[in-house]
Amino acid sequence: MSTLQIIDDITRRLGDALPPGAERLRGEIEERLRSLLQRALADADFVTREEFEAQAAVLAETRTRLDALRRALEQDEGN
């Protein structure tokens, strides 16, 4: 589901939750909510799951190498 679809879905659900007296303002309220959500998400610094997993893999490899270097250094210092 794309970001725009998610925003539309949230906006529609919030519009559906409006009290009966607000029905005539529903279009305007939904448009303002949509605009607010788009701005909030644009300002947020999100990454995709793939980007996160790629960076997690790089970090795991870096930790493995760092541990190996520490062990090698400790062996050299012990000799």
Residue-wise pLDDT for 19-65, tens only, equals 877 778 888 888 898 898 888 888 887 888 999 999 999 999 999 99
Phi/psi at 45 (5° precision): -110, 75
* Claim: this prediction has a pTM higher than 0.75: no
Which amino acid is present at 71?
Answer: R
- Same domain? For 36 and 51 the reply is no
Q: Are residues 3 and 37 in the same domain?
A: yes
In degrees, rounded to 5, the angle at the alpha carbon of residue 5 between the alpha carbons of residues 21 and 18 is 10
Query: Could you tell me if 55 and 21 lie in one domain?
Result: no
Task: Find where tokens 């930790």 sit.
Answer: 63
* Tokens at 53, concatenated: 């997993």
Shared domain check, 3 and 18: yes
Does residue 79 share a domain with residue 41? Answer: no
pLDDT of residue 1: 66
Backbone angle region of 18, left / alpha / beta, with phi > 0 → left and psi within -120 to 50 → alpha? beta
| pLDDT in the model for residue 62 | 98
Q: Please give the residue range of the domain that contains residue 67.
A: 47-79
Residue 11 has pLDDT above 90, yes or no: no
1 with 34, same domain: the answer is yes
